[in-house]
Structure formats: C-alpha cells, structure tokens
C-alpha cells in the first residue's frame, strides 16, 4: 500500500464518520423533539426570539 | 427537550445571523469556479472573441437577473428565494416548477464541483508518481464534508465561503497584475486573436458556456430568512456580487486569451491554472491551484446551502412531504433536507459524465431565468411601486425583463445546438412533474397557509 492509497482510505473513513454522524444526530433529534415543534418554522418569520433551546443557540449568541 | 415545549407554543426558525458579506460570499462563491474552469468551452464553440462577446452578453443577462432579483427579494424575504417569489406572484404550479429548477440547478452544480475536485486531487496524485490514484474517495469526501458543515450551522458555513471566495478572487487579481496587462511583454493578443472562426453562429453557440461566468449569482436570495436585514443585505450582496463577477470574468478572459491559442484554450480543463503555469512563476502556480480548489469548494458549499433551502421551503408548504420542512433545534438548519440531498448529489457525481451534469444545471438555471423575466412584469403589474415598499427598485422597467427574455431565448437555441436531446428530456420531465403536482400533490397543500406576505390585494383582483 502506497501513501496515496492511505490518503484515499482516510478520505473514505472521514466520509463514513461524518455521514454516520449526521444520520445518528438526525435520528436522535427526530426522537428527542416533537414533530410539530421541528416543523413549526413559518415562512418569512423574522422573530428569532422564539428559540427553544437557550443553551444551544447554534453557537451564535 | 420535550413535547411540553411545543405545547407551550414555542417555535423553531432558521437563524438570522448573516450580513451582506455572507450574501456576497454565497452568490460569488457559487459562481467563481466558472472563471477557473468551464467558461473556456465557449472559446471552443466560437473562438476567443466569441467567448468575449458571450461573456458580456451573459453579463448583461445576469445584470438583469441581479436587478430583478434584488427588487423582488427585498419584498419576499423567505427561504426558497425564487420559489417563494413564484408562489406569491404567479401561483403554486409555477412555484413548484421553480423549486425543482433550483434544486436541480444547485444539486447538479454541486455534483459537478465534486467531480472537478476529485479530478484535481487525482491529477496531483498522478503528478506525484501515483499512477493508480482514484478520484472517487475525494468526490465523496467533498460532498459529505460540506453537507456536514451545512448541517452544523449557516454562520460557519458561509463564513468559510467568505474566506474561500475572497482568496480565489484575490488570486485572479494577482494573476492579472502579474502578467502586466499594460504591456505586451507576456500577453500576445495581437497574434492569438483570430476574429470569429465560426462566424456569428459560433457566437450564439458560445452563449451556452458563456453562462458559466455567472451561473448561480441568483442564489443569494436563498439566504433571505437567515440575513439580519433582508431589505438591505440582499440587494447589497447581490449587486456587489454581480459587479465582482463582471470584473473577474473580464480579467479571466483577458489573461487567458492573451496567453493561450484558442485551439488549446477551448478544451483546457483548468485555464486559469494553465495561465499561471505559462508565467513560469511557482508562487503564482501555487496560488492559482489554491484558488482553483477553493473556488470549487466554495461553489459546492453554497450549492448545498441553496438546494437544501429550496427543498426545505417546498416541504414546509407541503409541496413535498412536510417532513422536509423541519429545522434542527440546536443548529437551526434545515437538517433533513440537507441529509436527503446528499445521496442525490452522490449519485450524479459518481455515475454521470461531467458535461451532462453541467448541461442539466445550466438548463435548470435557464428555465429559472425565463420565469424571472415574466415574474417581475407580473409583480410590477399586480403590485405597482406605490403599493408595496421595496428595499430596492430596479431601473428602466420593463427593459431588463425584456432583455432577459430575449437573451434566454437565444441561449435556449445555443443549448439546443449542442445538447438538444437533454433540453427535450428536461422539458418532458418538468411536464410530467407538473402533472403529478397538479393532480396528486396539491391536494395536500394548505392553500391559505402558503401565502405569508402581508401584501395588499393585487391590482385588478
């Protein structure tokens, strides 16, 4: 196995980890929150005070 | 977090954290890769002069697009961009089609960028002596990594785009300055330009790839629900974006047409990187290689952002299953739409040829531009200037709309010359999708809920 093959395997590995990470997080989020809440966004709403998880504001406050 | 939260009437919305710089980075980031590669196929269609004419004609087309888009978006501040505009101004069937145009255009473009990045890494591997280097691992990594970034949050995603895009744009300016455009020392336009080898038909044919200089700038309005001040940020980001692209496109053409004969330039894979190689400057070669990689990443990144917002908006209105209309409670992103579009992009990037993917992207974009010209005429007719406050009013109406419509017609003809089968196939697909929506899907839509803008009744209704 040459060094470029190692890089290729690393690319496959990172892709798999990130893909699984997203899927697991999506399933966990789907199960942790009510569906009505998850789909409560309304078009054009400008009031971003309606936040349900004060400790996790997307990391932007 | 529990069901009790929902019972208490709380809601989740997308996060409003973006400024005009992010809007610029979204629009220019999607497009700038077109300067690094793709535009030069216009040279192959009609010669270098034809490519310059295509550059400016397409520039005019997109200036109309940017002006029209800026006005309408400054009043329809909603994720989904042109989809939301079509819903309010034309009607649900048009909106469904526009939503599909957007998702197709951006997902195909994302796939094309991933293919290109895989090719670049494979080329580096081959040049480094690894003859059996593969591109597939890097295609997959590009799509999955950028989807993950988008999943995590819009602010980080578009801040990354801002950095990538700024570096790629600066690289073009540095190359332009390095070839000394004020002298004939390195550039040889006098010897290399040969008029129009295929006449004016070649000019029309080159319009197909002339779009590549700017394709995707209209994607800025997908960020409408995530910018802090839509009425100000969207027109500012979009208009500065098109100005940036006009400058970059003209510089790119000038440098490449002065360094390479049209026979080579017309089929080059990475023309700007090739131009840097011809200067024999190692720092320039490194800079332009970085610019090529960064612009490709920025484009794929912005495409994931835009395609997922369009898909999310359609889900939220029940044009698609409402399951897609969910927002992540912590990251505040349309996470299901982002994840759903990953395998779609992977299939196209893994199995479809690059030129077919690009053509489907261009065609989807073109259908969207055709709609936009009709949309703004209807918008001004139904809601004249004094009835709705706009953040931006585009001048000379209806001239930009008519110019856009004429240029779209010419470009359809150009695409038909090279990819007639794909054009017809795509039209048939959209007709079938429209029939499905009208007779099956629309019964699930809550008709009153989909119209959210507090606008007065349209004139004449």
A4-44 residue pLDDT tens = 999 999 999 999 999 999 999 999 999 999 999 999 998 87
* pLDDT for res B210: 87
Residues 47-86 of B with CB under 8 A from A: 76-80, 84
Residue A46 forms contact with B (CB below 8 Å): yes
Domain that holds residue B432: 22-444
Residue A59 forms contact with B (CB below 8 Å): yes
Residues 329-358 of B with CB under 8 A from A: 329-333, 335-336, 338-339, 342
pLDDT digits (tens, 9 = 90+) for B222-279: 998 999 888 888 889 999 999 999 999 999 999 999 999 999 999 998 999 999 999 9
- Asked if residue B317 has pLDDT above 70, the reply is yes
- Asked if residue B286 has pLDDT above 90, the reply is yes
B375 assigned to some structural domain: yes
The share of chain B scoring above pLDDT 70, in percent, equals: 98
Please give the full DSSP string across B408-442, using - where no structure is assigned: HHHHHHHHHHHHHHHHHHHHHHHHHHHHHHHHTGG
- Please report residues of B whose CB lies closer than 8 A to that of A46: 16, 77
B307 assigned to some structural domain: yes
- Please report residues of B whose CB lies closer than 8 A to that of A21: 148
pLDDT digits (tens, 9 = 90+) for B45-92: 999 999 999 999 999 988 888 889 888 888 887 888 899 999 999 999
B300 assigned to some structural domain: yes
Check B140 against A15: CB less than 8 A apart.
yes
Residue B300 forms contact with A (CB below 8 Å): no
Whole-angstrom distance, CA of residue B58 vs CA of residue B33: 16
Whole-angstrom distance, CA of residue B77 vs CA of residue B82: 10
Whole-angstrom distance, CA of residue B205 vs CA of residue B47: 10
B182 assigned to some structural domain: yes
Taking CA atoms, what residue in A is nearest to B7?
A: A37
Cβ atoms of residues B101 and B367 within 8 Å = yes
Residue A22 forms contact with B (CB below 8 Å): yes
B328 assigned to some structural domain: yes
B12 assigned to some structural domain: no
Domain count, chain B: 1
User: Pick from B316, B320, B286, B348: which is nearest to B140 by CA?
Assistant: B348
Residue B201 forms contact with A (CB below 8 Å): no
B12 vs chain A: nearest CA distance in angstroms?
5
B6 assigned to some structural domain: no
- Asked if residue A53 has pLDDT above 70, the reply is no
Residues in contact with B84: Cβ distance below 8 Å, sequence separation at least 6, in sequence order: A43, A44, B76, B78, B95, B224, B313
- Asked if residue B434 has pLDDT above 90, the reply is yes
- Please report residues of B whose CB lies closer than 8 A to that of A51: 10, 12
pLDDT digits (tens, 9 = 90+) for B438-458: 999 999 888 777 787 878 888
CATH assignment at residue B62: 1.20.1740.10
Structure tokens at B114: 């991933």
B336 assigned to some structural domain: yes
* pLDDT for res B357: 84
pLDDT digits (tens, 9 = 90+) for B339-372: 999 999 999 998 888 778 888 888 898 899 999 9
Identify the H or E element spanning B303. helix B282-316
* pLDDT for res B4: 36
pLDDT category at B7 given cuts 50, 70, 90 is very low
Residues in contact with A41: Cβ distance below 8 Å, sequence separation at least 6, in sequence order: B11, B12, B13, B14, B316, B325, B326, B327
pLDDT category at B9 given cuts 50, 70, 90 is low
pLDDT category at A45 given cuts 50, 70, 90 is low
- Please report residues of A whose CB lies closer than 8 A to that of B1: 32-33, 37, 52-53
Taking CA atoms, what residue in A is nearest to B76?
A: A44
Check B148 against A38: CB less than 8 A apart.
no
């Amino acid at each position: 196995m040459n060094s470029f093959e190692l890089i290729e395997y690393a690319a496959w590995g990172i892709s798999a980890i990130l893909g699984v990470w997203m899927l697991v997080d999506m399933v966990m989020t789907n199960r942790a929150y009510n569906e009505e809440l998850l789909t409560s966004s309304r078009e054009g709403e400008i009031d971003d005070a309606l936040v349900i998880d004060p400790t996790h504001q997307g990391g932007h406050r | 977090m529990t069901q009790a939260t929902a019972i208490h009437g709380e809601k989740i919305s997308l996060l409003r954290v973006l400024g005009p710089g992010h809007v610029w980075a979204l629009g220019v980031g999607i497009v700038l890769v077109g300067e690094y590669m793709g535009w030069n196929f216009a040279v192959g269609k009609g010669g270098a002069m034809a490519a310059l004419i295509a550059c400016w004609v397409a520039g005019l087309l997109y200036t109309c697009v940017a002006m029209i888009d800026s006005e309408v978006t400054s009043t329809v501040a909603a994720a989904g961009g042109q989809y939301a505009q079509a819903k309010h101004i034309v009607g649900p069937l048009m909106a469904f089609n526009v939503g599909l145009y957007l998702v197709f255009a951006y997902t195909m473009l994302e796939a094309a960028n991933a293919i290109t990045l895989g090719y670049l890494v494979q080329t580096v591997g081959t040049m480094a002596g690894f003859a059996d280097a593969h591109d597939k691992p890097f295609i997959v990594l590009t799509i999955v990594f950028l989807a993950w970034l988008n999943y995590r949050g819009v602010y980080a995603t578009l801040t990354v785009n801002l950095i990538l895009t700024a570096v790629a744009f600066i690289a073009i300016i540095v190359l332009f300055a390095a070839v000394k455009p004020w002298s004939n020392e390195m550039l040889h336009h006098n010897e290399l330009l040969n008029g129009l080898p295929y006449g004016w038909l070649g000019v029309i044919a080159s319009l197909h790839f002339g779009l590549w200089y700017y394709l995707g700038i209209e994607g800025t309005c997908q960020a409408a629900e995530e910018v802090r001040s839509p009425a100000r940020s969207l027109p500012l980001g979009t208009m500065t974006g098109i100005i940036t692209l006009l400058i970059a496109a003209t510089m790119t053409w000038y440098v490449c047409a002065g360094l390479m004969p049209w026979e080579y330039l017309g089929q080059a894979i990475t023309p700007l990187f090739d131009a840097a190689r011809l200067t024999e400057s190692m720092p320039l070669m490194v800079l332009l290689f970085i610019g090529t990689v960064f612009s490709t990443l920025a484009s794929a990144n912005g495409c994931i952002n835009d395609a997922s917002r369009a898909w999310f908006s359609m889900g939220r209105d029940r044009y698609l299953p409402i399951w897609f209309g969910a927002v992540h409670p912590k990251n505040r992103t349309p996470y299901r739409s982002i994840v759903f579009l990953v395998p779609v992009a992977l299939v196209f990037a893994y199995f479809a040829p690059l030129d077919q993917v690009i053509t489907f992207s261009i065609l989807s974009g073109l259908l969207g531009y055709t709609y936009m010209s009709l949309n703004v005429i209807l918008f001004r007719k139904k809601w004249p200037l004094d009835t709705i406050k706009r953040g931006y009013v585009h001048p000379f109406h209806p001239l930009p709309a008519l110019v856009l419509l004429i240029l779209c017609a010419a470009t359809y003809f150009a695409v038909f010359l090279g990819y007639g089968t794909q054009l017809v196939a795509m039209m048939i697909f959209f007709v079938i999708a429209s029939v499905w929506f009208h007779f099956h899907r629309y019964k699930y839509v809550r008709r009153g809920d989909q119209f959210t803008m507090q606008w007065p009744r349209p004139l004449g209704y």
